[in-house]
Structure 1
């Protein structure tokens, strides 16, 4: 956190994610024909904002500041806060759907895995009544291993896959409500160049 303190400016206990623009259109995907309020963010801009916010704990107060030329500020104040919040609320809803889908897959995989594991174990018990010997033992051990392998997918989902999606959901929820401020351009702030869209840290 000490490194973050030196990397990001702050206002009291609130840390600032700062982006410099020469025009509002730089912020949005140029191939999206939707109105500004409904446009997707430019991939590079979104990645910078998301990765910056991800560096902080979910409870750390943050503010998103856009620096624009004076003549662009009035329009930006009307458009940007709603557009940014709308976009990240959309991303949050997608994460919620993704989480529900992966958990549903996990439950289905768990049922299938348990049934298959039970079948494998039951088969090994049944073979004890039919024959015995090294080959039978190898066959039984193989069935048990295959049964547990079938359990790997639900275990993977419930131990690993879901929490990364949940973290994204929390992050997008935070961004959908983040305080947004429009200020006049300052050369030393984070810059998105008009041609290359290169994002430069403080």
Structure 2
């Protein structure tokens, strides 16, 4: 059986000096530092254009290349940063699903009370226009209470999963640092 390998997409970034790649407000060593916001957004936006199973090759062109080859340092920093974002994405998904379960319990409880109230109104006051309106309002309100859990479980979770896979793959990207050719 011939197993297909996921495509490897190349992302290229051009900077003047190495420090532009990192957040200057972060005092930690390079391999643990946050990426610069612009560099992060650039890499992330390009990566999100590709299918979530894609693998990446990141080429960073530096105009003022340091004396020592920074490839190992930059590779470790990019891998650490996007692995951290991948882990954060998993935590965000867990939090969203917990919120969805709590919202579902609250919504079901409220819907049950609304349906019971509507049944009582329908059985006892079928001829009163105001109470029929109240009954319909209870039905609508009960179903509206289910909107948030339905939104979470139908639509809210998959963008987080997709981003998490992209972050995971960026955290394993092949990284090359090359000088800008004059």
Q: TM-score, normalised by structure 1?
A: 0.80
Which of the residues 147, 154, 157 maps onto 2:149?
154
C-alpha distance in structure 1 between counterparts of 2:117 and 2:55, whole Å: 58
- Contiguous gaps of at least 5 residues in structure 1: 1-12, 188-202
Is residue 132 of structure 2 the alignment partner of residue 137 of structure 1? yes
Tell me the CA shift for residue 182 of structure 1.
1.8
Number of corresponding residues? 175
SS in 1 for 2:70: helix
The equivalent residue for 2:40 is 46
Cα deviation, 1:97-138, whole Å, max 9, x if unaligned, reads: 110000000011011101110111011112234323222211
Q: Is the 8 A contact 1:23 1:68 kept in 2?
A: yes
Which of the residues 21, 25, 35 maps onto 1:27?
21
The equivalent residue for 2:4 is none
Cα deviation, 1:25-52, whole Å, max 9, x if unaligned, reads: 1100111111111111111111111111
- Contiguous gaps of at least 5 residues in structure 2: 1-6
Tell me the CA shift for residue 71 of structure 1.
4.7
Q: Is the 8 A contact 2:100 2:152 kept in 1?
A: yes
The equivalent residue for 1:92 is 86
The equivalent residue for 1:5 is none
Q: CA RMSD in A?
A: 1.7
C-alpha distance in structure 2 between counterparts of 1:85 and 1:75, whole Å: 17
Tell me the CA shift for residue 95 of structure 1.
0.8
C-alpha distance in structure 1 between counterparts of 2:181 and 2:45, whole Å: 22
Q: TM-score, normalised by structure 2?
A: 0.89
Which of the residues 149, 157, 163 maps onto 1:168?
163
Is residue 123 of structure 2 the alignment partner of residue 120 of structure 1? no
The equivalent residue for 2:98 is 104
C-alpha distance in structure 1 between counterparts of 2:178 and 2:81, whole Å: 21
C-alpha distance in structure 2 between counterparts of 1:186 and 1:56, whole Å: 28
SS in 1 for 2:119: helix
